[in-house]
Chains A and B, each alone.
Chain A
């Protein structure tokens, strides 16, 4: 379980996160929702240690990993990377590299964590050619390759930042398939997305950010069972008073 407690962050004078708390479990798909600029991306980056916080705690399987609390711990970086795979909204690889070079980079730098077999499977599934250059990939293919780089790491948790952003319909469908198949098996997934309709039926838990805090967190099936409301219905209620 990843337990996020009382995250606080101010950007210049403006408070962005005012005490965000929620949990995400292994084996579940959790979706972090919020309006533009609500801080969803920031929360993910904070969990991954890429953005320092003003306060709060981030516990991954019980171990504290927030930069301001544990930043000097010896193996913090490796611990975090072994447990969490973060897929940002852009490719974090040199654009001059060819895809096979990037795959080899991952194999080289992530021994024991990188799963080359899974990577090959995913490349085939997405129809990506290894000889392509990263700079020449279409937006859809770049997003797919980004997923390969992130999901082929055998980590118990996966964070995805806007995996569907700005991609064509067919690429989005392919990416949505990832949520039902074996590459996400038993892993805890936290995604942020604007395209809720793409994945509404796939989400286990919703966490809704509003005004810097978690306004609502619920199990999607229970919401449907108990109140006959879709996730989008609840979002309408929460985000438009």
Chain B
């Protein structure tokens, strides 16, 4: 267990600059945007003070969020794309580049599955910390907005409302436990499938490439198939209640995840090649 923790620390440590960069970017853009918009709003209201016929309306932080979804969502998208790339790079970097660290990782005095688990854990830590940051940022944005705009016009905004202004937030920070488990369960399963596909590909050529392609194709068909089946209301054709069908499909995803892990471990132990 201690060995695994050391490895997780190692994985997180080597990514820290990029992680801090992403956090900094997100904080900068979101807080910066809020400050600018709030100041703009404040200026307008002060200007309108002079005109007695115009009565400025109430406002909350929801307004800038809703009106600038692209701006607030942009750094989040960058984070998502970066992490998506890293799902691949976290493995491929060990083979390419000046140091071929894969030699070292495969020769550590611990079961090889620890390497898989450590990379997975690190990725989850990155995702988790960015999500936590986003939540904190929402609080900060609200505080900043409320501090700049004159109190008379402020309307309260709940965190939930703030999340609902933007589809990106709605997906990443789902308000219901069900959706949270569903989205992140599916997301993690996809990561596991990708991990395993990469490990299969890293077996000896040409078999490795072929196996990886076959596996990736197969899993894509299966998993996308479940989504299509659900969307197409296939449960009627199967004489099942909708919720029963959903559970079955969820079960397929769980099995897919377990299979991915098993196959990934097996690849590391038996077929991975330097």
A contacts B directly (C-beta below 8 A) = yes
- Residues of chain A within 8 A (CB-CB) of B10 are 105
Complex contact B109–A52 (CB within 8 A): no
Query: In the complex, A95 Cα to B205 Cα: how many Å?
Result: 27
The answer for the CA separation of A49 and B105 in the assembled complex, in Å, is 12
* Nearest CB of A to B102, in Å: 8
1/0 contact string of B95-108 vs chain A (CB within 8 Å):
00011111110111
Known: A92-B99, A94-B101. A52 touches B273 (CB 8 A): yes
Contacts of B239 in A (CB 8 A): none
Q: Mark B178-191, 1 if CB is under 8 A from A, else 0.
A: 00000000000000
| Alpha-carbon gap, A52 to B273, bound state (A) | 6
A78 at the interface (CB under 8 A from B): yes
- Does A208 reach chain B (CB closer than 8 Å)? no
Q: Is A123 an interface residue (CB 8 A)?
A: no
Chain A interface category by residue count: 35 or more
Any A CB within 8 A of the CB of B150: no
* Chain A residues, Cβ within 8 Å of B112: 77
Query: What's the least CB distance linking B208 to chain A, in Å?
Result: 10
Q: Which of A72, A76, A77, A94 is the one whose CB lies under 8 Å from B99? A: A94
Please state if A95 and B106 are interface contacts (CB–CB under 8 Å): no
B230 contacts partner chain A, Cβ-Cβ < 8 Å: no
Partner of A92, one of B3, B103, B266: B103
Once the chains bind, are A113 and B109 in contact (CB under 8 Å)?
Answer: yes
CB neighbours of B3 from chain A (8 A): 109
Contacting pair A52 B98 (CB below 8 A): no
Is A71 a contact of B101 with CB atoms below 8 Å?
A: no
What 1/0 mask marks residues of chain B from 251 to 263 whose CB sits below 8 Å from any chain A CB?
0000000000000
Q: Are A82 and B111 in contact (CB under 8 A)?
A: no
Q: State whether the Cβ of B69 lies closer than 8 Å to any Cβ in chain A.
A: no
Within 8 A of A (CB), among B103-141: 103-104, 106-112
Chain A residues in 8 Å Cβ range of B106: 49-50, 77
Asked if B82 is at the interface of the complex by the 8 Å CB criterion, the answer is no
Question: How many Å from the CB of B6 to the closest CB on chain A?
Answer: 6
Q: How far does the Cβ of B158 sit from chain A's closest Cβ, in whole Å? A: 45
Q: How far is the CA of A12 from the CA of B49 in the complex (A)?
A: 80
B98 touches A51 (CB 8 A): no
Cβ contact within 8 Å between A93 and B104: yes
- For A71, the chain B residues whose CB sits under 8 A away are 266, 269-270
Contacts of B99 in A (CB 8 A): 90-95, 134
Cα distance A74–B114 in the bound complex, in angstroms:
12
- Say whether B206 faces chain A, with CB atoms less than 8 Å apart: yes
- Bound CA–CA A216/B160 (angstroms): 77
Judged by a CB distance under 8 angstroms, whether A98 is at the interface is: no
A72 near B270: Cβ-Cβ < 8 Å: yes
Does chain B have a CB within 8 A of A45?
yes
List residues of chain A with CB within 8 A of the CB of B204.
11, 51-52
Q: Which B residues touch A196, using CB under 8 A?
A: none
Chain A residues with Cβ below 8 Å from B6 are 108-109
- A51-B274 CB under 8 A given contacts A92-B100, A92-B101, A93-B101: yes
In the complex, A86 Cα to B100 Cα: how many Å? 14
Q: Which residues of B contact A135 (CB under 8 A)?
A: 98
Q: A50-B274, A52-B203, A92-B103 are in contact. List 10 more A-B contacts (CB 8 A).
A: A11-B204, A45-B274, A52-B271, A67-B269, A71-B266, A72-B269, A91-B99, A94-B14, A109-B109, A135-B98
